[in-house]
Structure 1
Amino acid sequence: MLRKLVASVVVVAAGMPAAQGASAEDGTVNVLYAGSLVNLMERSVGPAFGKETGLHFQGYAAGSNKIANEIKGKLRRGDVFISASPKVNTSLMGAANGDHVTWYVNFAESPLMIGLNPQSRFAAQFKSKRWDQVLQEPGIRIGRTDPKLDPKGAFTVDMMNKAAELYHEPDLVQKALGAPDNPEQVLPEETLVGRLQSGQLDAGFFYSTETSDLKIPAIQPAPELKAKASYTLTILNDAPNANGAARFVDFLMSAKGRALLKQHGVDVVKPTVVGNVQSIPPSVQAVVDAAQ
């Protein structure tokens, strides 16, 4: 089912850019979001937002950096952008970066985990050995995202480098991951869960929202290795449907929206605003203030 869901998201996105400018006219709000939030957005937040407002949610999921690159390259337009790292927003701020973003709100977090396929022939080893040792086993199929296109991919490489130091295993990264862009492991974020669940992977790197939401068995690394997504949201400066975008942000930051986030394993945090506060729509500022 999830693979069908992911396919539908990609098909919708493939209709760009011709349909992008229609959102203000047809009541559609285009939300570009980190691929780790596919299940949350498409099955929960999107439908709930539509029921609450009568507007149509249209989502596009991909690695946060990939989406930012498409925005900067004018390959994709949207109303709302939800990233898994504040640094991605920074890359869209200022005249040198196209002035696509003026402000953003940090609103949630999700730790990085090692998700497991319980049917894998390596499943038993994860119970008897430390996870980093199992990831070095010959033949194990590991999935992760591109560190150049997705914060999760960068967090994965960083965490493995820290693990190599912590466990005194200088060859850990090479044996477990290979090259940073190893084509045998690097996959689009929005397809990673489906590949693990279908048995194409033995293990992979996921945020807790993914493993908790979809009941994927997972291992949380030692506290010294902790890495996490820091989810942010903003309304893009050239949003075709700025009013609809504000209503979506209002909904997501409301008590009802925050409850949905918690239900899907996302750690809701006290919202903080970065950038030009004066540019934030009054309704968004009000809902942010209410959540603090």
Structure 2
Amino acid sequence: MMRKLLLSGIVSAGLLFAGGACADESTVNVLYAGSLVNLMERSVGPAFEKATGLHFSGYAAGSNKIANEIKGKLRRGDVFISASPKVNAGLMGPANGDHVGWYVNFAESPLMIGYHPQSRFAADFKSKRWDQVLQEPGIRIGRTDPKLDPKGAFTVDMMTKAAQLYHQPDLVEKTLGDPENPAQVLPEETLVGRLQSGQLDAGFFYSTETSDLKIPALRPARELQAKASYTLTILNDAPNQTGAARFVDFLLSDTGRALLKQHGVEVIKPTVTGNVQAVPPSVQAVTDAAP
């Protein structure tokens, strides 16, 4: 009798677990690069819900951080939006867990140097070259972790190139310090807020962030240009494949692309990388139709 009760309990627990694992087809879970927080939460998400009747649930963080959580089975989602194609490549193939089979490049956003308009260094940004201002005593600089976020890696790379362009061998050390300097490195999803609140004087941001939130910003010389290359994909183990396809369709539609442009994102012709045959027909159609 006791054995039957134990077996019954195990079966019941298993059924409860299986039921909990079932996808909620009314919700689309979107994992996205932290630089897109304002765009996704205040614009794309609400517009998608209004257009489809589905619920948008977003999670923002550095692209590499999200990829590591996916690989470590710490986080599941339906759609993954990254700021670099390299991040997707690290999720493709059996050796990388086969989490991604294809991805679409759909937008770009250059790296900028943004500053707080009330900072005591604000006037200097208008009269001096930006790298000179970043070396001034007491300036508080914010950036993201180069190991967890492409923007952080772009920042270090851009400063290294600037050191060569401006013939300042110690520029990186004077402005950034160690690549993972804890006095500067912040989570991508909180960096903008820290600048807006006055806790930072300046930082490195994509144009979508500075344009969208009216942050005064400077664009570095063409030789130093770095930019986010936004990609999106439906994860192979997405619980809600149908809802994921509808979200991708919406984001790549004329309406979605218009929203991207409104938030300072440079929209490009969508291109598919990877297994094209695995792309849902509706996504392939909207990709082909996009100008």
TM over 0.5: yes
Provide the rounded CA distance (Å) in 1 between the counterparts of 2:73 and 2:20. Answer: 11
Equivalent residues in 2 for 1:142-157, closer than 5 Å? 142-157=141-156
Aligned residue for 1:186, secondary structure, equals: coil
Structure 1 residues 200-221: Cα deviation after superposition (integer angstroms, max 9, x where no partner):
0000000000000000000000
Which residue pairs with 1:171 in the alignment?
170
Task: Quote the offset at 1:141 in angstroms.
Answer: 0.2
**Partner AA of 1:98 in structure 2:** G
Which residue pairs with 1:6 in the alignment?
none
- Decide whether the 8 Å contact of 1:49 with 1:55 is kept in 2: yes
CA 254–191 in structure 1, closer or farther in 2 if over 3 Å, else same:
same
- TM-score when scaled to structure 2? 0.92
Aligned residue for 2:77, secondary structure, equals: coil
Q: Does 1:214 align with 2:213?
A: yes
Equivalent residues in 2 for 1:176-195, closer than 5 Å? 176-195=175-194
Task: Quote the offset at 1:25 in angstroms.
Answer: 2.4
Provide the rounded CA distance (Å) in 2 between the counterparts of 1:85 and 1:25. Answer: 29
**Partner AA of 1:282 in structure 2:** P
Equivalent residues in 2 for 1:1-292, closer than 5 Å? 21=21, 24-292=23-291
Task: Quote the offset at 1:75 in angstroms.
Answer: 0.2
Task: Quote the offset at 1:21 in angstroms.
Answer: 4.3
CA 43–243 in structure 1, closer or farther in 2 if over 3 Å, else same:
same
- Decide whether the 8 Å contact of 1:20 with 1:77 is kept in 2: no
Q: Structure 1 stretches (4+) deviating beyond 2 angstroms?
A: 19-22
Provide the rounded CA distance (Å) in 2 between the counterparts of 1:233 and 1:200. Answer: 32
Provide the rounded CA distance (Å) in 2 between the counterparts of 1:190 and 1:237. Answer: 25
Provide the rounded CA distance (Å) in 2 between the counterparts of 1:129 and 1:212. Answer: 22
- TM-score when scaled to structure 1? 0.92
Task: Quote the offset at 1:138 in angstroms.
Answer: 1.2
**Partner AA of 2:203 in structure 1:** G
Provide the rounded CA distance (Å) in 2 between the counterparts of 1:127 and 1:259. Answer: 32
Which residue pairs with 1:14 in the alignment?
none
Provide the rounded CA distance (Å) in 1 between the counterparts of 2:270 and 2:244. Answer: 18
What stretches of structure 1 of length at least 5 have no aligned partner?
1-18
Provide the rounded CA distance (Å) in 2 between the counterparts of 1:20 and 1:244. Answer: 18
**Partner AA of 2:207 in structure 1:** S
- Decide whether the 8 Å contact of 1:20 with 1:78 is kept in 2: no
- Decide whether the 8 Å contact of 2:79 with 2:234 is kept in 1: yes
**Partner AA of 1:255 in structure 2:** D
Aligned residue for 1:66, secondary structure, equals: helix
- Decide whether the 8 Å contact of 1:45 with 1:252 is kept in 2: yes
Aligned residue for 2:244, secondary structure, equals: helix
Task: Quote the offset at 1:20 in angstroms.
Answer: 8.9
CA 21–250 in structure 1, closer or farther in 2 if over 3 Å, else same:
farther
Which residue pairs with 2:9 in the alignment?
none
Aligned residue for 2:122, secondary structure, equals: coil
RMSD: 1.1
How many pairs does the alignment contain?
273
Task: Quote the offset at 1:125 in angstroms.
Answer: 1.1
Task: Quote the offset at 1:170 in angstroms.
Answer: 0.5
Query: Identity over the aligned pairs, expressed in percent?
Result: 85
